[in-house]
Amino acid sequence: MTDHVAIDGLDLERLRKYFADNVPASTGEALSASLISGGKSNLTYSISDGTSTWVLRRPPLGHVLPTAHDMAREYRVINALGATEVPVPKAYAFCDDLEVNGAPFYVMELVTGRVCRTQSDVAGFSADDARRCSAELVDVLAAIHKVDYQTVGLADFGRPDGYLERQVRRWNRQWQSSLEAGCPDVTAVTELSRRLAEPVPQSPPPTIVHGDYRLDNTMLSATDAGKVIAVLDWEMSTIGDPLADLGLFLLYWGGSSTAASVVTGAAVSTEAGFMSRHEIVDRYAKATSINMDSLEWYEIFAAFKLAVIVAGIQARYLMGMTRGEGFDGMGEMVRHLSEGALERFGRS
């Protein structure tokens, strides 16, 4: 681990005192930190006092979309799911005092495994690994959606009535915010928001919704590709329509190489042994008994939502407030995602 006196996004001296007072097993010694991932989403750091190591999550630097990157929500849902079958890291502490680190943050358990972010990360999978990984990802998503959210204390975590209508409005507002921040206009995004609202499907019974469920937002066992040991990045979680999760998962899985390139470099391949889109939908439907008749709307909505998310990333990049590489193609991704979804709308 790199030892830093200062590191972007962290005030290690103020955090030292906070950890000593609030984080289990903290010795109060000086902290060192390194960035695990960041720039495109919330910033994730590994932090150690020389004896124990934890993970800290905070919002990205610079332009942040309204209602996005909500640390309190992310911490709350992980904490609530700790006693369920859904694999999540143990949550330790949440801080909304801006005097400590300049932004809200939370601290959680460091879970050791592998996160598949690039094509090379899955290149070593055998056909059996790929198939078991596919099945496990679907089963974990179904497990999230089968949690009784009221029993685990999340009855007021969201407003499921009118969820889809609000989602379309919300992501249109996020788009407008990114335009105001300097993101170039793409007319297909605006047209999608109009068409998606006329009308929305009737939702199944509400569930916990992860909001960004995909392969690289899970951690697999270091020794077993067919075992998810942690579901990560709950920043957009709520109570709502479970098919919104499935639609986005399918977009990343194999429906769009552009979508996949945002996170994993390429869509997964059935030739490598990964399940097909049809198999994914069939397994999920059997696990949840949810009707799939309106699934295409959710997949189109997923492309719209992802286009707006990428536009938010692009806006931060254009403002010089993003850390990391790979941001110069964000504008082209927004265009490809939105235009492809609009073309699909025309065929449906």
pLDDT at 65 over 60: no
Instruction: Decide which of 323 and 92 is more confident.
Output: 92
SS3 (DSSP) at 168: helix
Axis crossing angle, helix 163-180 with helix 295-318, rounded to the nearest 10: 20
> From residue 97, how far is each of 18, 33, 43, 64 by CA, in Å?
10, 20, 18, 18
pLDDT, mean of residues 20-42: 87
Grade residue 281 by pLDDT with cuts at 50, 70 and 90. very high
**How high is the pLDDT of residue 327?**
67
Alpha carbon of residue 254 to chain centroid = 17
The first and second tokens of residue 15, run together, are 């955090």
119-347 carries CATH number 3.40.960.10: no
User: What phi and psi values does residue 107 have, to the nearest 5 degrees?
Assistant: -120, 135
pLDDT at 133: 96
For the chain, percent of residues with pLDDT exceeding 90: 66
Q: Say if residues 157 and 221 touch (Cβ distance below 8 Å).
A: no
Q: Which range among 143-147, 203-207, 240-244, 333-337 shows the weakest confidence by mean pLDDT?
A: 333-337
Residue 123: pLDDT band (50, 70, 90) is confident
Give this prediction's pTM: 0.86
d(CA 131, CA 106): 34
Residue 227 has pLDDT above 90, yes or no: yes
Question: What's the confidence (pLDDT) of residue 167?
Answer: 93
pLDDT per residue as tens digits for the range 90-120: 999 999 999 999 999 999 999 999 999 888 8
What is the residue extent of each domain of the chain? 12-109, 119-347
Q: Class of 12-109 per CATH?
A: alpha beta
**What distance in Å separates the CA atoms of residue 200 and residue 194, rounded to the nearest whole number?**
11
CA-wise closest residue to 330 among 94, 11, 88, 63: 63
Span 322-332, average pLDDT: 70
